[in-house]
Structure 1
């Protein structure tokens, strides 16, 4: 692998990703879609889409609300809830930064980012309760590590998978620390290039980590920048890929199902009118339930990678396909000719294919009148 890095490092940045993928695929023995184990669930091709309810902001740092959200999410039918482990003092070097975000009922709101993040912190005892609550409801819990100290804290909770966001993709030391437990890594793309994607996989696996789950991610409202065709790259690399939406545009989520997303995440709130960060673009419980039902419908509609008619279409061929009808009277023993026939509905008689391939030139078994249908078994 070191030789590959040397070769790629000597190419232009614009070409690094393409060269890396070509070399990666040439060396990779199994290019089929991977499967990743998360707890007792296998994620990947041929498996149901893994659904996560994102509660990372909407829990508001309130233990009671966090538990209520978990219960609601479990009742809706998600596979996992996602939280984020933040310690504001260790995440932010500049404590003066302010952040402005929209709210649904109160307009834009500006907060000191340090204070905003402090409001999302939980103690170790509270984290243990949150994890236990999720497990008591029969769903998994995934926690995003935002700083190095979160690694040991998450390890103590015996989680099934490591998780980082796009803003931690440059934090190599934390990535290597996470890898030491041997578990898979779920991460958001966003800022990453194709070259950096493969470099991340190499770093993580060499440090002892398991396979990757890639969540397609972006932070733009501009559709021309969303680049969902990146799913083609994830597929070429044999990686399990999903999508983490940044808003309420559900049609993008449904499109990602068609492109091969195996993991989907959606933010859940109890009330979109809550005047805090993240609630305005979340889904309330009934909206989330409808969204999930639509995802499952999309998933079912994908079917199998084969071209075949539906049961209804197969049945209706008898009505709407065409059969051979005589244009003129013919005598018994006369040769069957194309010019004696026209083709009209219904389709339970002799088809045009059958006339061409099996009957032209053979004698009529009996006399036919103009307008009669040719059917098999006629004497």
Structure 2
């Protein structure tokens, strides 16, 4: 799925679609601008939250903060199974990969049935062995969010996955917050994760714009995941820091591809452009007669000087003297 040297771009719409038709439109926009995949979230709030008053505070467009029950937020993301099937089929027709977060074993089974190409463990479920192993045993690619997790907990979750024989793992550095605050993003954790694990490392961004994503690509992530929305002013935890509409989405994709191309190789290779510029930028010895610098080497070489352009190989000539 992930190609060496190419950053995989996933657009997250699970928290920002406003229903089936909205999800379809966001998938079409993701495909239009060149994203590799779109991701959604399949969740049953009635089973996930025993306390339906558990609050979540998040930022909204304009800088204000809002607090409301997580249960109420998640209820807005629920789709019918028929809608999930249709959405997956639509992504297939678009040739856009379809990823989804799952929170129950039944959801994992259903996503496998409709051909979901990669399932994801949310940060809050990373310590749920029964769910992590069940996902791994279903044998799709498995992705894990690591927000609010220790390195030890991440190692343990990866061990649970590999115990099933599943090595198709993507580990996300996922700073917490809606939005994430700059002093808590800790991009250098990407380097730590790359050193600890032989699996692709991804960056899930919870900040406005794409500065952090560019920095993550420069640090060597294999995937970036960015939330998209149809309208940043919609009330909800992730709208205010999402990419809004095709123009911003395309700007994001182009920025990632530009940095990707500029990363180049760790080998020091001369480009054709550099070879040409060497001729103009390097100096060579020019003997001087009658006030003129000439490339011909004759007589006493000490009477000359060093000047650009490099038109003769003085060092080789000197060795023969």
Are 1:283 and 2:243 counterparts? yes
Q: CA deviation at 1:297?
A: 0.8
Q: Counterpart of 1:244 in 2: which secondary structure? A: strand
Q: CA deviation at 1:191?
A: 2.6
Are 1:341 and 2:300 counterparts? no
Query: Is the CA contact 2:127–2:153 (under 8 Å) kept in the aligned structure 1?
Result: no
- Output the TM-score relative to the length of structure 2: 0.88
Greater Cα shift, 219-228 or 286-295? 219-228
User: Of 212, 220, 230, which aligns to 1:252?
Assistant: 212
Take 1:45 and 1:283, find their aligned partners in 2: how far apart are those partners?
26
Question: Partner of 2:27 in structure 1?
Answer: 70
User: Of 128, 135, 143, which aligns to 1:186?
Assistant: 143
Query: Is the CA contact 2:9–2:36 (under 8 Å) kept in the aligned structure 1?
Result: yes
Give ranges in structure 1 of 5+ residues lacking alignment: 1-41, 364-379
User: Of 268, 271, 292, which aligns to 1:310?
Assistant: 271
User: Of 37, 45, 49, which aligns to 2:7?
Assistant: 49
User: Of 246, 249, 260, which aligns to 1:299?
Assistant: 260
Change in CA separation of 1:154 and 1:322 when aligned onto 2, cut-off 3 Å? same
Take 1:346 and 1:272, find their aligned partners in 2: how far apart are those partners?
56
Q: Counterpart of 2:221 in 1: which secondary structure? A: coil
- Output the TM-score relative to the length of structure 1: 0.76
Q: CA deviation at 1:222?
A: 4.7
Q: CA deviation at 1:138?
A: 1.0
Give the RMSD, CA atoms, in angstroms. Answer: 2.5
Q: Counterpart of 2:285 in 1: which secondary structure? A: strand
Give ranges in structure 2 of 5+ residues lacking alignment: 291-296
Are 1:359 and 2:317 counterparts? yes
Question: Partner of 1:122 in structure 2?
Answer: 79
* Residue deviations 1:156-213 (CA, integer Å, cap 9, x gap): 2221222112111111111111122122211122233333333222211213434210
Q: Counterpart of 1:289 in 2: which secondary structure? A: helix
Q: CA deviation at 1:218?
A: 1.1
Take 1:241 and 1:120, find their aligned partners in 2: how far apart are those partners?
27
Take 2:189 and 2:282, find their aligned partners in 1: how far apart are those partners?
41
Take 1:195 and 1:101, find their aligned partners in 2: how far apart are those partners?
28
Take 1:119 and 1:57, find their aligned partners in 2: how far apart are those partners?
9
Are 1:151 and 2:102 counterparts? no
Take 1:229 and 1:140, find their aligned partners in 2: how far apart are those partners?
29
Q: CA deviation at 1:326?
A: 2.0
Are 1:235 and 2:198 counterparts? no
Question: Partner of 2:294 in structure 1?
Answer: none
Q: Larger radius of gyration, structure 1 or 2?
A: 1
Counterparts of 1:31-42 in structure 2 under 5 Å? 42=1
Take 1:224 and 1:295, find their aligned partners in 2: how far apart are those partners?
23
Take 1:122 and 1:362, find their aligned partners in 2: how far apart are those partners?
82
Counterparts of 1:263-274 in structure 2 under 5 Å? 263-274=223-234
Query: Is the CA contact 1:231–1:241 (under 8 Å) kept in the aligned structure 2?
Result: yes
* Residue deviations 1:265-311 (CA, integer Å, cap 9, x gap): 11111111223332111111211111111111111111222213332
Q: CA deviation at 1:228?
A: 2.3
